[in-house]
Amino acid sequence: MIHINWLSPLLVLGRAPAKRRPVKPVNTGRLNPVCIIALFWLLGVIPALAASPPSTSPTVIDVGIQPMGYPVAIISAVMERDAVMRRDLAAINLTVNFIPYKKGNDMVELVGNDQLEAAFLGDMPTIRTIARTDVRIVGLVKQTFTSVVGRKIVTPGELKGKRIGYAIGSSAHHTLLQALRSAGLSEQDVQLVPLEINEMPQALADRRVDAFSGWEPAPSLARAKVPECRILFKGSSSDYFLVADRFARRNPAAAKILATGFLRAIRWMQGSQNQLEQAATWAINDSGRFSGRASGLTIPQATAIAQRELLSIPSAPVIVKLPGESPRLTEEFNFLKNLGKIPANADPGRLRTAFDCNILQQVIRDGSRLRLKEFAYQP
Amino acid sequence: MTAKPGSIWSRTGLRLQLLLGFGLLSLLIISILMGGWLFGIPFLGVDGFRQVKIAEVVRDLDYMAETSKQLLSQWIRERRADVAIMATDPLIREAVGSRDSARGKPPQISGHLKILKESAAPYYDRLLLVAADGRLCGASDGAAALPLGLEAMVPGLLSQGATEVVCTARIEGKAAIIVSRQIFTGDGTTETPAGIIIGLIPPTAAIQLFQEISPYTAESTSSIFLTDYSGHLLSSRKQSPAETVEQPLLPETLHRQLASHIETTLVERTTTGRNLITAYRTIPLSASEGWGLAVSLNYDEALRPLVAETVKTALFGSALTLLTLLLISLLFTRITTPLRALHDAVIRMQKGDLGSRAPLFSSGGREIITLASAFNEMADKIQGWQEDLEQQVQVRTLELEDSARQLKESEQQYRSVVENTDDLITRVNTQGRILFVNATAIKYWGLQPDECIGLTAFDFIHPDDRGKTMAAFQGWLSGNDTTLSFENRQVATSGTISDMLWTISPLRTPQGDIIEFISIARDISSRKRTEIQIRRRADELVALNTLTRQVGLSLHQNQIVAAALNGMINATSADMVLFFTRDNGLLRLAGAAPDSILATMGDMSQHLEGECLCGLAAAQGKAVYSDDINLDARCTLEECKRAGFSAFAALPLLGGEEVIGVLGLASYEKREFGVQAEFLETLAGSVAVGLQNARLFDAARRAEKEVRELNAGLEDKVSERTAQLQETNAALSLEIEQHLQAREEISWLNNDLLQRSQELERANTELETFSYSISHDLKAPLRHLIGFSRILQEDFADTLPPEAANFIDRIDRSSRKMVVMVDALLELSRITKSVLCRKQVDLSAMARELVTELRETSPDREVTVEIAEGLTASADPILIRVVLQNLLGNAWKYSRNVPHARIGFFATEEDGTTTYGIRDNGTGFDMAHTDKLFGAFQRLHGAEFEGTGIGLATVQRIIHRHGGKVWAESRPGAGATFHFTLG
């Protein structure tokens, strides 16, 4: 969704980063007074503005990021500081705003409602987003495993009857479902305890849960806190950078600039270890600001995660399409549909459409024009 | 817990029970310990051997899988490095950079590729160099065209951004690992590839890596499976100690899991029924490509050590249990042997062997030794008690025999009492049926014993009393009284009716239910008759009082007759009463009741004395009774017989010794008037007194009438009449005295018979009133005489001749004297009827007081008075004062003409009787007149000594009331001495 500049005051009131998440509507039975005032202001001002000449203020592109997830946080931290990208966007009268979210599931409806133009999402939110709206997968952000960590639990079959922490709707939720299915169990056989991802290690240490399903760095932190815990299940998981299809069609140049910034950030991190550590430092700081407390992750841990889960993957972030291959999310799509997590009439063909984009190929092809190899990051 | 007799526990020995109990307990404890060791204690967080072993298997398997994954990843990285290095090879770059590379130097580049392949042997199957247009530039095997299956992949491998690709594909029908790298030949500003170098590697080359991995254990066989992205098997290898290399088939279960790209360890059951434990790993190759790796073990084989350990544990536990049982058995044998010995000793004692003793085992422990010792002591005591008991039994047996004999005697006595008692004793059940009767009842009812049983107690109750008896019985049953007492009448079979007093008591069960009644009946007929007699006696007394009062209130004969007739009818229930007065040998009928019967009887106006029953009573002066006049020869007149009377009583009315009349009582019914003789004669006495009083009253009236005639006539007549009046008064006084004496006797009789009869006291009071009334009435005409005499003296003194005036003066003085005499007479009467109240009286002090009073009346006299000290007596203080006053007064009076008068008061005692005496030296008297000395109005001296003639009569009356006597000794001029005693 592209916002015109004169709506900025309303947007500031109604969708500040922490407020712009109508993911879980709260039915309080009455309207927020601020919203009522804003509505009157809007009804009164819009007709007048409609008659006024168009503004020259830059249009904002909202990009949803996850400061608590690595290496996504590192990539987004670098992109936020990409002066080249900002200049290129400014050249076409655009600006970019990176909005932090705790988990990708919070962004599914925002992308579907054009409130976010781009987002970094895990595989399960990506599938849910694809199931409800048209998006384009730009590239791979992470290829890793989401882990089920348990205290004194050896096999998934021993999860029966246990209290398990999970983030509903996340890729870790998908992994938990996989783990239960592998042992012939279902969600009804365990006690599900909704938790934020950053709460899970401490919850396991406090014995509030017997196990949890989470992504890095939660499993690493849990193993550091609770020596007797072990990873009893891993499910492969991938994060993607995607842009809304309507945004890309409406403003392909802007989409390319975003994709260039995305690829540039990865190339910059691949350039040297120092640059990667700088990026990790930015990400850790951003995570701390977002969560209000230190992430507990060290720079070496963060860089190792980035290396292992993204930078060492051949061709990453480009998703190479080869004959005979089906999108790796297809199996997950069917799995979630069978579980009722996505509508039964969702079309798996939308996956192929989402992955059949070649934005990064175009970027690479026009790398010179898009200044792909020009790096300028402002701390 | 109490074992039921005959239960298995009651038949099982203590040793076996303890052995079983402790054996089971040991088995349970050892099982728990073994189970805990084997399976852990989950709620305590303690892992058992099984969990540890499984974790160990999983950990080892994970290690194998992870090692395999790392080896494979490293191998891939090496292959990527191989190809990356080849991509920078100048010849390679030149080959793809030249426009005619495909045309000009294929053989050379292919040879170069062959050299490169061999240097990187043995992994690559072949190396291929492909130009940017997709044409093959060279192949290590010299092939001129791309192998089948690879052509379609080349565009993707050449696409922008696909810098390097590792994937799998089926090349020429076989699975192959493809490692490609784009080749860039420019200045680095462009990212368009000039070509690609592709290495084709057979999957078996990858799987051979695992030869370096040791098998899981020396005994077990593990299988390693490598699959592509879709879970299709690329290669597999079975690792075994025998190093037999074969490619096992991928189980379907593992295929499904490998297609899910997971990393975990699972225990699964294959379609062939094998249990496999498999560690899964995923090896990412690119954004859309990855391999699956599975390391699988036969789960049962892996856990075989666990089974062996379990068996060993079970064997150890069993051995431990047996050992424990053996030790427990030995221990219990040691413990139970003394117990058994004690048990045997107890059993022997139970069977009568009182000499049985328990041996003392040192192994038995302190408690059992103490128990055995205690038992032995107890046995000693029991044996001693047994001997004592036998002696006591003998003694007791004798006592019991004696008691039984006594009991039998007691029972016989009781039965004798029951059978011989005068009471009727019966036992009846709750239906009222007689269960037992004693001999008295049998005799009373006139039945045989077996005839009584079964009858009801109500069968013998008088029909008129049955309702009352039943009501009393029902009321008692509904109440709370323990016993029931009531009276009714019983009818014996002989028809005899008796009054019975019943006392009924229930016999109850311990729960309080009545089962029988015991009734005791006593014949109270005689008591009833006594009560009737007493009641009749009381009625008679009431009637007597009534009659006495009615007669006493009557002053005229007619009234007396009427009152007597009415009173006798009421008091005796006679059918007819005849009242005869005696007059000159005739019995004249003064009245009869009822008149209706008299009218039918003919002439009953008079009888001759001695004629018929009434005449006999008048002649004999005693009552005559006839139970049946028709059979009585004494009844000579026929009137009563004709009137239908049967019984008759003739009661004489005695005026002193004289018969003044007869009362005749007649009854139609046969009746024994004689049984009421005392009562009837007392009634007749009362009537006689009334009749006598009436006659006296008539005489007084006639005297009054004559006085009045004298007043109007001559002095002689007055004198004559006065003398007659004096005689009449004397007679009247005598009669009054007799009357009072009779009243006293009646009163005594009443007090004796009816001590609490208020009616009689009232009658006495009225009688006293009557006496006073008589005296008062006598004084009234005297006052008239005095009054009229004084009128004559005062109003007609001038007209009366001196002689008449003298007569009138004499009448006046005589009348005044008579008043004094009547007053004295009343005083005498008062003293006589006053209640005697004896006390201890100091006679000496009393005499001194009286003498002092006498001295005050004649202070000029010189009289020597000698009063003995300490004279006391038990007497009525008031009356004894009257005695001393009269005697000292007489001594004082009759010694006044003596110059040296002397008076003495003394006492003598003889034979225990104290005799008091008062003497003087006065005029004395002639002992020839001593019989008149104590008569009323009798005087031995003339007018020189004043007096009424009542004093000594009063003294005598008082002394008599005290039960004493009084007499006098004197000579004329020699003074007199009066003696008296007090009873």
* Binary contact (B159, A361; C-beta < 8 A): yes
Cβ-based neighbours of B338, under 8 Å, separated by 6 or more: B358, B359, B360, B361, B363, B364, B365, B368, B369, B372
Q: What is the DSSP letter of A307?
A: I
Residue pairs spanning A and B at CB distance below 8 A: 135
pLDDT of B82 above 90: no
pLDDT of B64 above 90: no
* Binary contact (A314, B163; C-beta < 8 A): yes
* Binary contact (B284, A236; C-beta < 8 A): yes
Q: Look up the ipTM and state it.
A: 0.78
- Host H or E run for residue A146: strand A135-151
| pLDDT attached to residue A51 | 38
| pLDDT attached to residue A16 | 33
| pLDDT attached to residue A46 | 41
Average pLDDT on B51-66 reads 83
Chain A closest-CA separation from residue B46 CA (Å): 10
| pLDDT attached to residue B888 | 93
* Binary contact (A235, B58; C-beta < 8 A): no
Q: How confident is the model at residue A280 (pLDDT cuts 50, 70, 90)?
A: very high
* Binary contact (B289, A325; C-beta < 8 A): yes
Chain A closest-CA separation from residue B156 CA (Å): 5
**Residues B442 and B458 sit within 8 Å (Cβ to Cβ):** no
| pLDDT attached to residue B698 | 81
* Binary contact (B45, A152; C-beta < 8 A): yes
* Binary contact (A320, B169; C-beta < 8 A): no
pLDDT of A2 above 50: no
Tell me the pairing of strands B424-429 and B434-437.
antiparallel
What is the torsion angle, in degrees rounded to the nearest 10, for the CA atoms of residue A252, residue A254, residue A260 and residue A261?
A: -160
Whether chain A has a CB inside 8 Å of the CB on B166: the answer is yes
Q: Give A180-205 pLDDT, tens digit per residue.
A: 988 889 999 999 999 988 889 999 99
Asked if residue B122 has a cis previous peptide bond (ω within 30° of 0), the answer is yes
628-667 in chain B: CB under 8 A from chain A: none
Average pLDDT on B251-261 reads 76
pLDDT of B101 above 50: no
Whether chain A has a CB inside 8 Å of the CB on B289: the answer is yes
- 3-state DSSP helix/strand/coil % of chain B, to nearest 5: 55, 20, 25
* Binary contact (A157, B284; C-beta < 8 A): no
| pLDDT attached to residue B98 | 66
- Host H or E run for residue B457: none
Whether chain B has a CB inside 8 Å of the CB on A293: the answer is no
Within 8 A of A318 by CB-CB distance, chain B residues are: 160-163, 287
pTM of the model: 0.51
Whether chain A has a CB inside 8 Å of the CB on B298: the answer is no
* Binary contact (A365, B191; C-beta < 8 A): yes
For chain B, percent of residues with pLDDT exceeding 90: 9
Q: Give B183-213 pLDDT, tens digit per residue.
A: 987 766 667 888 999 999 888 887 777 766 6
Q: Give B342-383 pLDDT, tens digit per residue.
A: 888 888 888 888 888 888 877 667 777 888 888 888 888 888
* Binary contact (A234, B262; C-beta < 8 A): yes
* Binary contact (B287, A320; C-beta < 8 A): yes
* Binary contact (B288, A145; C-beta < 8 A): no
Amino acid at A219: P
| pLDDT attached to residue B370 | 84
Query: Nearest Cα to B65, choosing from B291, B272, B285, B249?
Result: B291
252-271 in chain B: CB under 8 A from chain A: 257, 259-267
Q: Give B27-58 pLDDT, tens digit per residue.
A: 888 888 888 877 777 777 777 887 788 888 88
3-state secondary structure of B217: coil
**Lowest mean pLDDT segment, chosen from B150-154, B370-374, B456-460, B516-520:** B456-460
For chain B, percent of residues with pLDDT exceeding 70: 90
Whether chain A has a CB inside 8 Å of the CB on B96: the answer is no
| A356: its two tokens | 């059949």
Angle at the Cα of B334 from the Cα atoms of B333 and B339, rounded to 5 degrees: 80
Whether chain A has a CB inside 8 Å of the CB on B507: the answer is no
Asked if residue B652 has a cis previous peptide bond (ω within 30° of 0), the answer is no
| pLDDT attached to residue B718 | 61
Asked if residue A317 has a cis previous peptide bond (ω within 30° of 0), the answer is yes
Integer angstrom CA distances of residue A186 from B611, B815, B953: 151, 157, 149
Ramachandran class of A156: left when φ > 0, alpha when ψ lies in -120 to 50, beta otherwise: alpha
The average confidence (pLDDT) of chain B is 81
CA A69/CA A216 separation, integer angstroms = 7
Angle at the Cα of A207 from the Cα atoms of A204 and A208, rounded to 5 degrees: 85
pLDDT of B773 above 80: no
* Binary contact (B266, A320; C-beta < 8 A): no
For A327, the closest of B47, B288, B290 (CB atoms) is B288
Cβ-based neighbours of A223, under 8 Å, separated by 6 or more: A149, A229, A230, A231
Chain A closest-CA separation from residue B163 CA (Å): 5
pLDDT of A36 above 50: no
Whether chain A has a CB inside 8 Å of the CB on B290: the answer is yes
Within 8 A of A310 by CB-CB distance, chain B residues are: none
Q: Give B843-886 pLDDT, tens digit per residue.
A: 999 999 999 989 988 888 889 999 999 999 999 988 899 899 99
Chain B, nearest residue to A144 by Cα: B284
pLDDT of B711 above 50: yes
pLDDT of A239 above 70: yes
Q: Give A307-337 pLDDT, tens digit per residue.
A: 988 898 888 888 887 776 555 677 778 877 8
Query: Nearest Cα to A213, choosing from A228, A232, A226?
Result: A232
Burial tier of B873 (Cβ tally within 10 Å: 0-12, 13-18, 19+): buried
Average pLDDT on B425-440 reads 84
Q: Give B659-693 pLDDT, tens digit per residue.
A: 889 999 999 888 888 888 888 888 888 888 888 88
* Binary contact (B161, A155; C-beta < 8 A): no
Whether chain B has a CB inside 8 Å of the CB on A140: the answer is yes
* Binary contact (A320, B162; C-beta < 8 A): yes
**Lowest mean pLDDT segment, chosen from A79-88, A305-314, B527-536:** B527-536
pLDDT of A112 above 60: yes
The separation between CA B827 and the C-alpha centre of its own chain, rounded to angstroms, equals 69
Backbone angles phi, psi at A21, to 5 degrees: -135, 75
* Binary contact (A234, B191; C-beta < 8 A): no
Within 8 A of A182 by CB-CB distance, chain B residues are: 257, 260, 262, 264, 266
Whether chain B has a CB inside 8 Å of the CB on A267: the answer is no
Residue B672: how many other CB atoms lie within 10 Å: 13
Whether chain A has a CB inside 8 Å of the CB on B43: the answer is no
Query: Nearest Cα to B663, choosing from B683, B641, B637, B639?
Result: B683
Whether chain A has a CB inside 8 Å of the CB on B854: the answer is no
Integer angstrom CA distances of residue B174 from A289, B202, B751: 54, 8, 162
No. of helices (H) and no. of strands (E), chain B: 27, 30
pLDDT of A166 above 90: yes
CA B613/CA B385 separation, integer angstroms = 96
Within 8 A of A185 by CB-CB distance, chain B residues are: none
Residue from A320, A357, A370 to probe the interface with B (highest B Cβ count within 10 Å): A320
Q: What is the DSSP letter of A94?
A: E
Chain B closest-CA separation from residue A74 CA (Å): 19
* Binary contact (A154, B58; C-beta < 8 A): yes
Whether chain B has a CB inside 8 Å of the CB on A235: the answer is yes
